Amino acid sequence: MDVDFLIDRELAIQDAIRDVEARIREGHDTIKPPGQLDGTEGRLSRQDSLMRHEMDKAGLRSMEQSLEALKEARLRIDRGTYGRCLQCGREISKDRLLLIPAAECCTDCLSS
At residue 31, the pLDDT reads 80
At residue 8, the pLDDT reads 96
- Name the class of domain 3-82: mainly alpha
CA pseudo-torsion sign 54, 57, 62, 68:
negative
| Domain residue ranges of the chain, discontinuous segments joined by + | 3-82
At residue 37, the pLDDT reads 47
At residue 46, the pLDDT reads 75
- Run means of pLDDT, 10 residues per run, the chain, 112 residues: 94 97 91 63 73 90 97 96 96 96 95 87
User: Is 62 exposed, middle or buried, given 0-12, 13-18 or 19+ CB atoms closer than 10 A?
Assistant: exposed
